[in-house]
Amino acid sequence: MVQNGYFLRLIWIALVAVVLALLLHSFLYHYFPDVLQSNFSDDSRNRSANAEPRIVQARGSLAEDEQSTIELFENSRDSVVFITTRQRVMDAWTRNIFSVPSGTGSGFIWDDEGHVITNFHVIRGASEATVRVTDGNDYKASLVGASPAHDIAVLRIHMRFQRPAPVPIGTSNDLKVGQKVFAIGNPFGLDWTLTTGIVSALDRSLPGGDGRSIDNLIQTDAAINPGNSGGPLLDSAGRLIGINTAIYSPSGVSAGIGFAVPVDTVNRVVPQIISRGKYIRPAMGITVDSKLNKRLADHLKITGVIILSISPGSAADEAGLEGATVTPEGNIMANDVIVAIDGKLVDSVDKLYSRIDNYKVGDTVKLTVRRYGMQGEEIEVPVTLQSGE
């Protein structure tokens, strides 16, 4: 009986609490309705039938740098193209050949003959490429040629009417760290995107497609993402100063470190590709070896590039350069070591190739050579560069 009375009291207390809660809710609803309304409640009683859009505040003129950036993009975008590639693959079971999407990239119109410049890695391994221009039309592209050592490829499209204007050409040898740059491309397939930044550094190096490094690259903090490759890097005058070629990012997206092939290299390499289908490096007719040079230089405690041998009748032979000597015991004795070209230091084989690549066949360069047959005396030797074929 005692237990039953206890439960009856609990039930009675619960009923009283419910009644009090209902009374409190009714009181608040009639006298303080805002207390019970949530942020998403329907406040239909306070709606106004005369609500109008707010008056737009006049903006005023765009800033001068904004206007110049807009004009640069509008003047340049038609010269930039979107490139998609496809690759032929074979079904392992049926042996049938299929064409599948391979990748995307950017490029730009080079001249009035329909030549399009892009990166070599954009079209590497592709069996076909399609170029889309800003009016939305697609054109099948043919491969004119490429220089993997510079990550440059030349395509060609045939457009009958309304050809986009070529990108104006600038220079890269006078670039300064800190000057503004503008990149136009198609990152992630998002067509005709503009990013801006500055020249962050000059004379950077990255591994190239033929095992040699690509030197003299422009480093920029303008956002460069997958799909930007092959697009133009422009200066504030809208002139081409480089080809966006790579980013440095563990995640594969822009981390504020991008690289571009300088336009001076482009303007030297592309005409040869168009006329010959490939780039012919200037050469001297000497034999050098990167790995062997490092071992010998470390052993001999010297800095420079050791000439291993001279091709008979070559430019180096005519200039009187001397190759290394092999002793009866098989040891290599250095004779001539190249330490500079036109006053610019050379401390590796890659740097030697890079220095020479700034010239063309027929140019005469002045080598600073340390001749160990003359107790390491330094001499200057003029050499007229020959074809590297």
CB 285 within 8 A of CB 341: no
Q: What is the mean pLDDT of residues 143-153?
A: 90
Residues noted as catalytic: 121, 151, 229
**Residue scoring higher pLDDT (158 or 45):** 158
**Model confidence at 143, in pLDDT bands (50, 70, 90)?**
very high
Q: Which residues, 6 or more positions from 265, have their beta carbon under 8 angstroms from its beta carbon? A: 150, 152, 172, 216, 357
Separation CA 389–CA 92 (nearest Å) = 40
Separation CA 224–CA 258 (nearest Å) = 6
**Model confidence at 358, in pLDDT bands (50, 70, 90)?**
confident
Q: What pLDDT, on a 0 to 100 scale, did the predictor assign at position 102?
A: 64
Separation CA 229–CA 233 (nearest Å) = 10
Question: Lowest-confidence range among 5-19, 117-131, 150-164?
Answer: 5-19
What is the percent of the chain with per-residue pLDDT over 70, rounded to a whole number? 84
Structure tokens of 276? 């010959």
Q: Tell me whether the CATH fold assigned to 78-156 matches the one assigned to 180-276.
A: yes
Task: Write down the residue that tokens 């050579």 correspond to.
Answer: 369
Query: Whole-model pTM?
Result: 0.73
Q: What pLDDT, on a 0 to 100 scale, did the predictor assign at position 203?
A: 84
Would you kindly state where each structural domain of the chain is located, as residue ranges? 78-156, 180-276, 282-387
Domain 180-276 has CATH 3.50.50.60: no
Q: What pLDDT, on a 0 to 100 scale, did the predictor assign at position 79?
A: 92
Separation CA 268–CA 243 (nearest Å) = 13
Backbone angles phi, psi at 231, to 5 degrees: -80, 165
Q: What pLDDT, on a 0 to 100 scale, did the predictor assign at position 171?
A: 92
Class (C level, CATH) for 78-156: mainly beta
**Residue scoring higher pLDDT (55 or 7):** 55
Q: Is the dihedral of CA 57, 60, 64, 70 positive or negative?
A: positive
Task: Name the nearest CA neighbour of 190 among 105, 295, 280.
Answer: 105
Q: What pLDDT, on a 0 to 100 scale, did the predictor assign at position 270?
A: 93
Q: Which fold has domain 282-387?
A: Pdz3 Domain (2.30.42)
Residue 207 confidence (pLDDT) above 60:
yes
Q: Which residues, 6 or more positions from 161, have their beta carbon under 8 angstroms from its beta carbon? A: none
How would you class 46 by CB atoms within 10 Å of its CB: exposed for 0-12, middle for 13-18, buried for 19 or more? exposed
Q: What pLDDT, on a 0 to 100 scale, did the predictor assign at position 294?
A: 86
pLDDT, one tens digit per residue, over 47-79 is: 777 788 888 888 888 888 889 999 999 999 899
Q: What pLDDT, on a 0 to 100 scale, did the predictor assign at position 62?
A: 86
